[in-house]
Amino acid sequence: MTTAAHRILLVDDDPDDRALAVTLLRARRPDLEISEAADGVTFAGHLARGAFDLVVTEHRLAWGDGLRLLTTVKDLHPGLPVVLFTTDPDADLASRAVRAGIDGFLAKTSRGFLELADLVGELLGPAEPAESPASPAEDVVRALSHDLQEPVQLVSRYARLLGERYRDRLGEDGERHLGHLVRSAERVQSMLDDLLEVARAGARSRQRVDLDSVVDEAVETLYGAIEETGARITRDPLPTVEADRSQMVRLFQNLIGNAIKFHGDEPPEVHVGGGGGDGRWELTVRDNGIGISEADRERIFEVFERLHTAEEIPGTGVGLAICRRIAEGHGGTLAVDSQPGGGSIFTLTLPRGETP
């Protein structure tokens, strides 16, 4: 599709909420063109310029009031539907919004984020069929991980506060328990960040990507770990493929990073190989690390599955889940062959495509 069927203006000064709403709307409604306004000037500019089919606005804005915005929109464009999508959905606000001529009212909760696309559908008509719609599970992961961030941040903030204000009354045991609480909350937070990343690994753009430069970039970002462990990284000349470049960097960063992290007694030796045949590229990341037993070789690609505790070796266990999702999103596969104590070989296959 070359032109968007409907144009939406999304008004919200919280960048995370905006990003989530846009991601979820795009996943369900690829036919929408979404313009974002974080401040009053951008909002006014969009409204003056834009022929929109729908405005979605937060009520609580640092620079204004969603209801006032609603009235302004209705004064300028009486037929333009407006949805109030707000963190502050009380009954009084709802009734004032109805009086102001609101067309839709939605609370900004996980459920609200998920229902936004449905409400847009009711107001603008159903979506054009998408080529590859995101699965509902993906939407749920996005909305939940976004929504759980706030309570988890509260837990860690108050636990810290307790530690600071009541240290002298806590005693040794109390301090230890509080330490566990803070660390667990931090861990949940990074797991939520990672979950969000797994969900995002589905969406991608495609361009010609030179894997030599991708691997070089990935290796550069691992400089600290390479220095620390004395790792030696080598690579074959690699092909140019049709892919999302930043996802390829992320994939090789994870694979090479793991190859360094899970080393044995010897300094890590990591080799990235390139080859293929039968219409597929075959890229390998080989290491001389601790290896993986046969029983664990599938499990490690699951979200949050790890073979060590975070205290032994840091990590949340989503790296390989992301890598596999990226590989499959490109029409490829990712698998491992390994011997405990004898190193591992991760093999990524990618379709060759038509371009030479």
List of residues contacting ligand ADP (CB under 6 A) = 254, 258-259, 262, 287, 289-292, 300, 306-308, 315-321, 344
Largest separation between any pair of C-alpha atoms in the chain: 73
* Least Å from the CB of residue 152 to ligand ADP: 19
Q: What is the DSSP string of 53-119?
A: SEEEE-SEETTEEHHHHHHHHHHH-TT--EEEEES---HHHHHHHHHTT-SEEEE-SHHHHHHHHHH
Residue among 84 and 215 whose Cβ is closer to ligand ADP:
215
**Cβ–Cβ < 8 Å for 200, 146:** no
Q: Which two tokens stand for residue 223?
A: 């400089």
3-state secondary structure of 7: strand
Name which of 52 and 301 has its Cβ closer to ligand ADP.
Answer: 301
Q: Which residue is nearest to ligand ADP (CB)?
A: 315
d(CA 287, CA 268): 7
Dihedral sign, Cα of residue 9, residue 14, residue 17, residue 20: positive
Least distance to ligand ADP, CB of residue 336, Å: 8
Least spacing, CB of residue 338 vs ligand ADP, in Å = 7
Q: Which is nearer to ligand ADP, 35 or 254 (CB)?
A: 254
Our measurement of the distance from residue 285's CA atom to the centroid of its chain's CA atoms, rounded to an integer in Å, reads 25
CB of 150 vs ligand ADP, minimal distance in Å = 24
Q: Which helix (H) or strand (E) holds 305?
A: none
| Distance in Å, CB of 145 to ligand ADP, minimum | 17
- For ligand ADP, the closer CB: 64 or 319: 319
SS3 (DSSP) at 147:
helix
Q: Which lies closer to ligand ADP via its Cβ, residue 16 or residue 302?
A: 302
In the complex, the smallest distance separating the C-beta of residue 156 from ligand ADP, rounded to whole angstroms, is 20
Query: Whose Cβ is closer to ligand ADP: residue 108's or residue 306's?
Result: 306
